[in-house]
Amino acid sequence: MHFSIPETESRSGDSGGSAYVAYNIHVNGVLHCRVRYSQLLGLHEQLRKEYGANVLPAFPPKKLFSLTPAEVEQRREQLEKYMQAVRQDPLLGSSETFNSFLRRAQQETQQVPTEEVSLEVLLSNGQKVLVNVLTSDQTEDVLEAVAAKLDLPDDLIGYFSLFLVREKEDGAFSFVRKLQEFELPYVSVTSLRSQEYKIVLRKSYWDSAYDDDVMENRVGLNLLYAQTVSDIERGWILVTKEQHRQLKSLQEKVSKKEFLRLAQTLRHYGYLRFDACVADFPEKDCPVVVSAGNSELSLQLRLPGQQLREGSFRVTRMRCWRVTSSVPLPTGGTSSPGRGRGEVRLELAFEYLMSKDRLQWVTITSPQAIMMSICLQSMVDELMVKKSGGSIRKMLRRRVGGTLRRSDSQQAVKSPPLLESPDASRESVVKLSSKLSAVSLRGIGSPSTDASASDVHGNFAFEGIGDEDL
């Protein structure tokens, strides 16, 4: 998840009290909550009490006198770095203290009272499931309520997740993000104040070998079948005319397991497709369609002459990746701190082992860049669990003290060492790497600072390759 505090607001105190500065915390570019410095300081003190000062990142100190505009901006930047560092820490970011703070702040900001409501959750085929939940129920609670309504067994709940999507005019879903433990699904979807946004239930794993566990259960089988039929109808799964005929025949016979077995052999089965975007591979400003699945990112592009081509980037050959953001300055000059910001431009950049000794950065510019990053991380999680001989059931449903814990592969974000390369093209790659090493939330053209190592997602599923693998 990408936490940012792109702006501050001057707000009046309660009952006509003195004005104060409020910090708008955004998650993936969308306002999550609005908090005061004193609230964040309270969170910091509580985390320090529970985990010790040596675990926590630096917190901006109190000031005796009113802050100047420059000092307000400096504090904003420091608080933003603090929230990002806490979220990325495997211990702090998964703590109930941190997550419950964000849930309470979200509910207070949106001024939603705690009460029972009916929440609509869609299946992949558009079928609606209505569940009675509290407005204050967290993501795990809502997921369990949906599972209970569908009669999905408890041991299969972790194979599925709730996703926030935007329904487009043609009925297709554009994935915004996977709902997290620090948010309240009802508040998240209603605060967007648009009927376009929905919550969708979809399987949360990538390796089709885990389908066998789900298909043993009638409800699990029906959910997988509905998702696969929907993906084929939307063109997410690539099907030849003959394969389509075979699938149609199995569909008419209601042979769901046989249908899924055939679908598992098809290109892009179980992949998540993103909206059309732009990449710098194989050339700058190349229009592409990105799909994630089967431990890879697939880039489909149409070459001159309308010939469709596909390039695949294996997760095991990505040394690291990062999401960068920038905000164009308003036309005609600079903006004052915290004001006049334009639309955030998001990029996913990953360093890929193109050949035995040559790493190259590939950049995808997309509003869904953060969702792509989350997909990469979850694919790495699965690979690491599989390598260690662990169970996906434990990975998906790991709980410590009532809170979900991220898997071990997420506990390190620093990159493995760079490969030494004598390749002459390495110099230009390093320059591109340097360009991407800074994240500016103030505006293109403003002075940038080098991002810390924690901004880079190191890939512990990264594998070196030999010439025979190329």
pLDDT reading at 342 higher than 50: yes
Contacts of 198 by beta carbon, 8 Å cutoff, 6+ apart = 120, 122, 164, 165, 166, 167, 173, 189
Residues 275 and 396 reside in one and the same domain: yes
Contacts of 134 by beta carbon, 8 Å cutoff, 6+ apart = 114, 115, 116, 117, 141, 186
Report the CATH number at residue 17.
Answer: 3.30.1520.10
Write the DSSP symbol of residue 273: E
- Tens of pLDDT along 226-261? 999 999 999 999 999 999 999 999 999 999 999 999
Cα separation, 43 vs 29, in Å, equals 22
Query: CA-based angle 4:101:455, to the nearest 5?
Result: 30
Q: Flag whether 461 is in a domain.
A: no
Residues 64 and 156 reside in one and the same domain: no
Single out the residue in 95, 110, 125 at which a domain terminates.
110
**pLDDT band for position 309 (cuts 50, 70, 90):** confident
Write the DSSP symbol of residue 193: -
Q: Flag whether 136 is in a domain.
A: yes
The residue range of the domain holding 371 is 271-326+345-400
C-alpha dihedral over 82, 83, 89, 92, to 10 degrees? 110
Per-state percent for the chain, helix, strand, coil, to nearest 5: 35, 25, 35
**pLDDT band for position 321 (cuts 50, 70, 90):** very high
Q: Flag whether 61 is in a domain.
A: yes
- Tens of pLDDT along 136-148? 999 999 999 999 9
Q: Flag whether 181 is in a domain.
A: yes
Residues 275 and 378 reside in one and the same domain: yes
Q: Flag whether 441 is in a domain.
A: no
Q: Flag whether 18 is in a domain.
A: yes
Domain total in the chain = 4
Single out the residue in 91, 110, 129 at which a domain terminates.
110
Residues 135 and 177 reside in one and the same domain: yes
Q: Flag whether 142 is in a domain.
A: yes
By DSSP bridging, strand 307-314 and strand 296-303 are antiparallel
Burial 342-374 (b: 16+ CB within 10 A, else e): eebebbbbbbbbbeeebbbbbbbbbbbbbbbbb
Residues 147 and 199 reside in one and the same domain: yes
Residues 194 and 129 reside in one and the same domain: yes
Highest mean pLDDT among 170-179, 196-205, 434-443: 196-205
Q: Flag whether 428 is in a domain.
A: no
- Please say whether the beta carbons of 1 and 85 come within 8 A: no
Residues 287 and 372 reside in one and the same domain: yes
**pLDDT band for position 436 (cuts 50, 70, 90):** very low
Element (H or E) spanning 404, and its range?
A: strand 403-404
Report the CATH number at residue 123.
Answer: 3.10.20.90
What integer pLDDT is reported at residue 463 of this predicted model?
65
Cα separation, 101 vs 116, in Å, equals 21
Residues 211 and 196 reside in one and the same domain: no
Cα separation, 1 vs 189, in Å, equals 17
Residues 264 and 288 reside in one and the same domain: no
Residues 200 and 279 reside in one and the same domain: no
- The β-bridge partners of 25 are 33
Single out the residue in 160, 184, 204 at which a domain terminates.
204
Report the CATH number at residue 277.
Answer: 2.30.29.30
- Tens of pLDDT along 353-371? 998 889 999 999 999 998 9
Residues 14 and 130 reside in one and the same domain: no
Mean pLDDT of the chain: 80
Q: How far is CA 436 from CA 121, 281, 451, in A?
A: 38, 16, 9
DSSP-derived 3-state class of residue 176: strand
**pLDDT band for position 459 (cuts 50, 70, 90):** low
Residues 24 and 122 reside in one and the same domain: no
pLDDT reading at 439 higher than 60: no
Q: What is the mean pLDDT of residues 284-296?
A: 94
